[in-house]
Amino acid sequence: MPTWPLPKRDPWSTPFAETLLSQLDLTPGLTILDVASGHGLPAFYLAEHTGPTGKVLGIDIHPTQLARARSIQGQQLPWLQFEEHDVRHLPSTLPSFDRITGNLSFMFFRPNRFEALQDLIRHLQPGGQIVLTFPSMGTFDSLWQRVDQEMKTRRLDKERTKLWNYIHERPSAQDARHWLEQLQMERIVVEDQPLEVETGSGQEFLWHPLLRGGFLDDVFECFEDQELANEFMTTISHDVSSFVPLMAQRCVMAGWKPLQP
């Protein structure tokens, strides 16, 4: 039984991590860079499976996430390290790796996702593999349609434009494939897999741990008047039946760097 399995009670990160691992060629002795590593999912799993002959470096921009990961790690898995870095501005001193992974990471590469991906691949060894997951276009479309309908009814034109810009800024599976092809990667795999997120109405919806602090906050940010935003979203929260099931799209993008340039 693995010491560091993926958490069974994590309804968001674990399903995406499972999608990542379904494409990752993972063997003992590899060097792995895990970007936007958060509190260590799946960095701990990766480190256990590379073993002491390998090395895993988890990087994240948030010190609190890194502190939590180090606290969980303690003195275990000494070949796993966590460092503070912004994936969009990697240091030139960062070495090359056999594998580069990132669970729920690709959306954080904004605004210049292609350039950030290009920089990551510079740190990938020839013959190495990159695997990233992210919620792609189509995620929670039923919710966005309900929000858009309410904005249209209330003639909230500025807020509606901001929402439209947010939705269409999200990367799609087609974007991911195009960028990997532009970077001349080989054995490219890009797949979307649906994931249902269950929610109740009212406060359960408004403070849902998978929606608040991310997706729902993006709606609140469309409003200059936060009292109006609260009233607006309360209305939405009492009409959950109009947009469930609430479906996310788990996108995995994977490719191999050619041995010869």
Q: Collapsing DSSP states into helix, strand and coil, what is residue 86? A: coil
In CATH, the architecture of 13-136+171-196+249-256 is: 3-Layer(aba) Sandwich (3.40)
* pTM, rounded to two decimals: 0.93
Q: Rg of the chain over CA atoms, in angstroms?
A: 20
Q: Which of 101, 86, 89, 133 is nearest to 32 (CA)?
A: 101
Domain ranges (residues) in the chain: 13-136+171-196+249-256, 141-167+199-243
pLDDT in tens, 49-87: 999 999 999 999 999 999 999 999 999 999 999 999 999
Strand partners, 133: 252
Query: Does the pLDDT of residue 1 top 60, yes or no?
Result: no
192-231 tens-digit pLDDT = 999 999 999 999 999 998 898 778 999 999 999 999 999 9
| Structure-token pair, residue 1 | 């039984």
> What totals of helices (H) and strands (E) does the chain contain, helices first?
10, 7
Strands, E assignment, the chain = 31-35, 55-60, 80-84, 97-102, 124-135, 186-197, 246-256
The 10s digit of each residue's pLDDT in 90-100 is: 998 999 999 99
**H or E element that contains 227:** helix 226-237
Nearest to 233 by CA among 260, 208, 258, 255: 208
